[in-house]
Structure 1
């Protein structure tokens, strides 16, 4: 229904803007066929959104696939209109098409986003969820259950577990508390367990000790019962663009590409950093000058705070920030060590006595980080990337955490849009490693858009 309303609104608006609303005049000249074209175009557009499976329940609520399909269906439609006009030499008004396509596409994406927010709220309240029975080894089931419970917006609710071939005789899975309905390796027992829990779908994870023929028969029975079958391989923090499926001898082989930031990708990321940082410096220059004046007026000391941080491949650089603390803040650090409210590795205090009056405002809205645009322009940082660590933090890194240094640190990143100082150390590392492993320009743009919301809500900023 929302798709239909948006499509009609976009096409009707394009018609009015291009030809006006004088129906008497329109009926006497060549614009009148556009009324019928508008009706046909709206119907075809709505049908193509359905043909491209943009309304499938499995893509609603999370991920970018929904938006990609909406964009693909819309672009294909107007591409076909262009081809039709060229082949049949039909003179289609460019202004009409030039308004309908971008306005309609933007409206569709915005409406889908708003519906997604509503759906996310409902799912966090326990509604609109698919009940899953998890099948796999005990460790794999625990990991999958934990991941799904953390991502309720995806719409999957684990309700039971089945551990075929497991030697551990437990009634409940310790980590998630899911009831374990059985351990037998035959399809009949699994289906019996499925009937007892009335799950909507079955998720098969790693460590499952089932013969391929048993899995095949299980798939047939699930299909006959209209129960979904989900395969959850033991791949963690791997983004969709890195996963490719290839059919070989009836087997779906999953290829995972290695993330790289070389050649054209490196040039594109650096070009975006230079252009966007320069534009932002020019745009925020009056605000930065005003903040510098207020900092100087509020307390003695320099306007800028320079701190040594560790960048790409372990190189060190001086990161710039507006000074938000008293001048001797570093000397007071030792006396405040016992009041650390951070995540263990990072030192944070919600009501830090060293923060100045203007500094509290700067930190709340991340205005103290504006001078880092100069670091980005100079090349020591990027717009998006892992959080720039202190040297002492890097010295305490475990082996996995050192992979954060493979790319330039960023002014913003997944850590910035996911809670900032409220995150645990493990979550901070996980998010930064996910970024390093799955970097893309499109992902950078999404993070930049989400940063604005994170800044205005001030979540985790202290």
Structure 2
């Protein structure tokens, strides 16, 4: 993807992937491989497939349902539905090369569909049509489903291509050594973006730790010549065939010096992007503005109140009450299995730390033998987690039924009681133990500014397979970028994570 670097990618984005040796190896290959040996453009079938799916997904069901129900204007209605759906998505730039395949999220598709319903409702009223509303809704329902399936298939294809160092954007990072290192390492640690660092232009004489080659060095002070910075940067970009020059935030490349560099790069047809140094900040919180001719990047504060919080509370309490009612037969079945297969109580109650460092009693189905807590210290040497949490794949304290409950996450269901009481939420960071919180620093304590949840980004991203740093990143992303719609998206994706069972032990 050529052009200006996607802000969501530079600042964190919605999705994370675990860091693996295989992934970093692929990124290194892309950094060192000549540009002509790998494709840097997306597959040509992406826009054609997306357009065809949208046209057929909106037009065919509409025509079939209206004809089966013997409604008038079936063919015309199908054409209008197909044109409205594709036109709307085109206006929202869903077919743009830089957008196709970059997200597998369901919320953009849902937003588009809701707008489509509003547009067609206005058309229906203006044309004085009398098709039953529920029939029209049923006819339009397949379109977002098929679009979402196409979006996810495209996303999977694009991710697979990037693991093979295909469809990448070659980036030349420019900045002070420590800032350039941070940007390069952050980009190399994730696979949900197209950017591959092929070189570094360092400002000053400090060492550069990243594995990318140092293509050039600039002086610490602004050169007197107008093209003093531009000439070596352009030479490095052309030699490495870089698509974008990414400037890492720093005092030595700002103001007049940065303006001169931008002039030189743009006059030569080379793209320039800025990395302000923010991480885990969703694009929806960013707003570009200006004051006195100076470009500003406004970062909106996290949502902590208002209508969205009210909706979250209503969803939590209503969802918990409904879940307890509907799942009561399952509760009885699991309780009987726990009680009959090992001595001890059905439920396990444990003190956890919630919002504002307030302790509460968390409920779970018992999955371990009754002496599990007493045996934990003896197993500390077998901890397979790199952080403050204790995790062990084949924990001898887990019962036979407990392994099944953990694999399916059914042991977590009693936490609906905590949600109903208000000490937990359906979605949020996992509630930590008191001994873990006692060892928290300022960064980790920030995850306690919201209510803990039964599920969250940690569960749909690998659960216990995540490293401690990745777990903290996910929690902080949730805390700072929360919204009601993101909660809905997490819950929708939780089902697949539970069925998959990856990282559950």
TM-score with structure 2 setting the length: 0.81
Mapped contact 1:132–1:202 kept (Cα < 8 A): yes
Shift of 1:251: 2.5
Give the SS at the match of 1:252. Answer: strand
Aligned to 1:456: 499
Q: Paired residue for 1:181, among 198, 209, 215?
A: 215
Q: Paired residue for 2:300, among 257, 266, 269?
A: 257
Q: Paired residue for 1:9, among 37, 44, 57?
A: 57
**CA root-mean-square deviation:** 2.6
Mapped contact 2:462–2:502 kept (Cα < 8 A): yes
Mapped contact 1:124–1:153 kept (Cα < 8 A): no
Q: Paired residue for 1:151, among 155, 176, 190?
A: 190
Partners of 1:247 and 1:102 lie apart in 2 by 42
Mapped contact 1:420–1:460 kept (Cα < 8 A): yes
Mapped contact 1:60–1:66 kept (Cα < 8 A): no
Q: Paired residue for 1:166, among 204, 222, 226?
A: 204
CA offsets, 1:67-110, max 9 Å, x none?
63x556555555444445545x4426355643444332332233
Where does the alignment leave 5 or more consecutive residues of structure 2 unmatched? 1-47, 219-227
Q: Paired residue for 2:458, among 411, 415, 439?
A: 415
Partners of 1:73 and 1:294 lie apart in 2 by 46
Where does the alignment leave 5 or more consecutive residues of structure 1 unmatched? none
CA offsets, 1:24-83, max 9 Å, x none?
xx8xxx93x542453355345434433322123333444589963x55655555544444
Residue 75 (structure 2) pairs with residue 35 (structure 1): yes
The 10-residue stretch of structure 1 (321-330 or 250-259) with the greater mean CA deviation from structure 2: 250-259
What are the within-5 Å matches in structure 2 for residues 19-418 of structure 1? Answer: 19-20=67-68, 31=72, 33-39=73-79, 41-43=81-83, 45-62=85-102, 68=108, 76=115, 79-87=118-126, 89-91=127-129, 93-95=131-133, 97-163=136-202, 165-168=203-206, 170=207, 173-174=208-209, 176-184=210-218, 186-207=229-250, 209-210=252-253, 212-220=255-263, 222-223=265-266, 226-418=269-461
CA offsets, 1:224-261, max 9 Å, x none?
65543322111111112221221223322111122242
Shift of 1:381: 0.9
Q: Cα gap change, 1:330/1:222 in structure 2, threshold over 3 Å: closer, same or farther?
A: same
Mapped contact 1:61–1:155 kept (Cα < 8 A): no
Mapped contact 1:274–1:377 kept (Cα < 8 A): yes
Give the SS at the match of 1:121. Answer: helix
How many residues are aligned here? Answer: 447
TM-score with structure 1 setting the length: 0.88
Q: Cα gap change, 1:161/1:403 in structure 2, threshold over 3 Å: closer, same or farther?
A: same
Q: Cα gap change, 1:460/1:65 in structure 2, threshold over 3 Å: closer, same or farther?
A: closer
Partners of 2:376 and 2:169 lie apart in 1 by 50
